[in-house]
Structure 1
């Protein structure tokens, strides 16, 4: 089957949304509220984990808290892989998004319960729900366009703006409630946001037409029963492993974090091996997947640095930044809104730029630019950390500048990567490929959580400078391999 066939069904014609299919508005708003809940909770998570018990926190050390944060992010994106499989083979993208939203909302409501255990139980539910929602809503966006349409990148950039609108508003609300009043009240605000998202999705479903209504490659009969049996067995094995850890006294935060990091990497290697050796995909599709391996590695390296904004940089904002304005000390988590507001400003400009440039700038080149800019942000962060040596509080403008550079890099890589994934995906793995794209974030976050432990043992200037320069070097190396990667992409730009 040709990999150039459009995926999914076209939505009904009629009114447009910024010149794009009307269905984009429903998906835009659903994703906005889901990101409100995710980034609202994430903005205060590490601060809550490291806060003293007397202040309502869990009093975890910074090293463990950073690792928990990284691993939690990794699990959110790792579960996108089975979430894509569920949509592709069992219930379709549309129902996956609905049930994912319901489970996410339940997780945030559990986190709002003022006990220590509720946070970890709630995070587990959010991980499961996001796995169902995140890859499949992006797949539905891809369904709105022809596979190699230049408008596709522009559409994903607008969708990306919805992500960041929710991410901008969330820390302002959850951060104030969590840091100034009660941590669990902040988690509760995230729950309300996801509830709005689910209601909006249900009310706007008429805009979607047939998009995402059916599985792309449904399992039927004996194949379906066999697959469900395997899922059940796998679930039992996971529970058994957790029980063994608990009985043996090894069920600690660090043990679980380390185990999940290893699992994330092994799943990634195994899944790429499975696709590349699948005899049902064509030679062209296999070539494109080989190109995608390189894009995946670049993306994972990008997220390893970028997603430390909510952990290492968030703690820097809380402990080493002067946040006093007119006698009011604003919450450290408010600085988490800087990144998304800059993306809201930059996303339309990036969408217009990619549309104007068309195919003259390739996807690998955009990835290389993202890596270089990401590295430069950490080089600047090394200067900020040097200025804070000795206990001086530095201006928050240091972090604003760091986030501005990172945003420029993100707009070069992330929405473009979403679009490239839908273009390079073998037809058989349509929704699962979006899960694989998010797995790049999972790998980056999982390894990044382990790397962030070094922030507590190395001097901060050395830590930021080392990883910043490493990203710059990798980006420059990516430029050298652009021609080879484009050849593997077999006509996809």
Structure 2
């Protein structure tokens, strides 16, 4: 990196990216905390919402969450091939500011447009600002891991603050004030990023002029598909089923199944193209994608089903005051800040004892612990059926286990993929990972 100015032993650019991402996550998690609550709020209530059913609200939340993750794939490709990470982050931040600003308008059409703008913005900003953090350090720099840890703390500070502050504002003054406050947070992040450019010289300025010769493009992969009759027939049958669902049942699920059919075709082609050793690893990789789908599908209930349960069935009285349901979204980031270092230390001590756990083992353990959290929600439901409301402690305990599971599984997932993915399909496998996260 050209600029070697440091602060607390790290490049000053790290702290520009720290605060940019902190405010971006403030905007994202602030909006996430109140999204389904706004959708299900009665049109005639004091702070009117859209009056949707819980099922409709959860369906929109699911599609929105999936598209946010999947948008990271084209966002990363655009940055790598056309824009460079820095411009991608700038443009993504602009889309986010526009999106959150649009959500502040009291109109259902504005609401939908705002969500689409946010999806585009997150897709451009999220994967590329993380890449820029890595670009601050030279290869082999021992500070890199600690730099990412500092960056991760910023994410969770933003998420925790958003759930509390935006939740309170939305409950006190109305949903659109909450959305607007989330937008102000994103605007602050954009200002910080733009004003800190002198500390980011040489980081993410230009796209990669030459692609890795080992990488295989999606176009090449589809070209190979048409040369393999069996794989082509399987893909065609799946596509035909997708078209049927698209026409006869639901356009949304039809498009989803069509996407999955194409991914299946690509996965089959990759399996045919790799050697025996890589085939064994590839099967393990595909199993890990199933774990990813299950894990994040359950984990993301925090912003959906668990959020609605908190609003409708949980006693939120603490010291004589009733707290808004959205505030309970702060449990997860606060637990991460408190438990991140101890859990990392546990695995490190485990390694020193000669019992180093594999990445897949950590992912499975994380999934089991996270799933155990729903046992507390079962207890909460039983209490609700018995007395008409459930205690807040059940929710706190459920989020605790969800967070411990996340801290076991999430940090190792990306590293695991880069270790065992076939070399020439590494970039594509990373994209499939993000898509799997979104599908969950």
Superposed pair shares fold, TM > 0.5: yes
For the Cα contact (< 8 Å) 1:80–1:134, is it kept in 2? yes
The answer for unaligned runs of 5 or more in structure 1 is 1-9, 220-226, 228-249, 445-493
For the Cα contact (< 8 Å) 1:139–1:434, is it kept in 2? no
Between stretches 44-53 and 322-331, larger displacement belongs to 322-331
SS at match of 2:385: coil
1:336 to 305, 329, 333: 329
SS at match of 1:54: coil
1:123 Cα shift? 0.3
Do the aligned partners of residues 374 and 217 (structure 1) sit closer, same or farther apart at CA in structure 2, a change above 3 Å counting? farther
1:176 Cα shift? 1.6
**Which residue is equivalent to 1:174?**
166
**Which residue is equivalent to 1:408?**
404
For the Cα contact (< 8 Å) 2:359–2:416, is it kept in 1? yes
> Matched residues in 2 for 1:337 and 1:374: separation?
17
1:293 to 286, 293, 301: 286
> Matched residues in 2 for 1:147 and 1:426: separation?
22
2:433 to 433, 437, 445: 437
Q: Deviations over 1:221-261 (max 9, x none)?
A: xxxxxx9xxxxxxxxxxxxxxxxxxxxxx99xx94543454
For the Cα contact (< 8 Å) 2:85–2:205, is it kept in 1? yes
**Which residue is equivalent to 1:40?**
30
**Which residue is equivalent to 2:299?**
306
**Which residue is equivalent to 2:153?**
161
2:105 to 107, 113, 117: 113
**Which residue is equivalent to 2:375?**
379
Do the aligned partners of residues 323 and 416 (structure 1) sit closer, same or farther apart at CA in structure 2, a change above 3 Å counting? same
Q: Deviations over 1:22-73 (max 9, x none)?
A: 4332322222111111110011111111111112111111111111111100
For the Cα contact (< 8 Å) 1:158–1:351, is it kept in 2? no
1:53 to 43, 46, 62: 43
1:190 maps to 2:182: yes
Count of matched residue positions in the alignment of Structure 1 and Structure 2: 401
Do the aligned partners of residues 187 and 284 (structure 1) sit closer, same or farther apart at CA in structure 2, a change above 3 Å counting? farther
SS at match of 1:393: coil
> Matched residues in 2 for 1:13 and 1:293: separation?
41
- RMSD after superposition: 3.3
1:390 Cα shift? 4.2
SS at match of 2:97: helix
1:153 Cα shift? 5.3
> Matched residues in 1 for 2:131 and 2:277: separation?
21
> Matched residues in 1 for 2:190 and 2:417: separation?
26
1:412 Cα shift? 1.1
For the Cα contact (< 8 Å) 1:172–1:333, is it kept in 2? yes
SS at match of 1:384: helix
1:365 to 353, 361, 364: 361
> Matched residues in 2 for 1:154 and 1:382: separation?
38
> Matched residues in 2 for 1:377 and 1:421: separation?
26
**Which residue is equivalent to 2:6?**
15
The answer for unaligned runs of 5 or more in structure 2 is 212-218, 220-245
1:77 to 69, 72, 96: 69
For the Cα contact (< 8 Å) 1:142–1:422, is it kept in 2? no
Do the aligned partners of residues 181 and 349 (structure 1) sit closer, same or farther apart at CA in structure 2, a change above 3 Å counting? same
> Matched residues in 2 for 1:158 and 1:304: separation?
27
Q: Deviations over 1:312-351 (max 9, x none)?
A: 1111111111112344321011100111111111223345
> Matched residues in 1 for 2:266 and 2:18: separation?
29
**Which residue is equivalent to 1:394?**
390
Do the aligned partners of residues 77 and 206 (structure 1) sit closer, same or farther apart at CA in structure 2, a change above 3 Å counting? same
**Which residue is equivalent to 1:318?**
311
**TM-score of the aligned structures, taking structure 1 as reference length:** 0.72
Do the aligned partners of residues 156 and 103 (structure 1) sit closer, same or farther apart at CA in structure 2, a change above 3 Å counting? same
SS at match of 2:125: helix
Between stretches 176-185 and 367-376, larger displacement belongs to 176-185
Do the aligned partners of residues 218 and 108 (structure 1) sit closer, same or farther apart at CA in structure 2, a change above 3 Å counting? farther
Output aligned runs, 1:204-219, within 5 Å: 204-216=196-208
SS at match of 1:388: helix
**Which residue is equivalent to 2:225?**
none
1:284 Cα shift? 8.7
1:135 maps to 2:131: no
**TM-score of the aligned structures, taking structure 2 as reference length:** 0.80
For the Cα contact (< 8 Å) 2:360–2:416, is it kept in 1? no
Between stretches 157-166 and 65-74, larger displacement belongs to 157-166
For the Cα contact (< 8 Å) 1:216–1:428, is it kept in 2? no
Do the aligned partners of residues 442 and 265 (structure 1) sit closer, same or farther apart at CA in structure 2, a change above 3 Å counting? farther
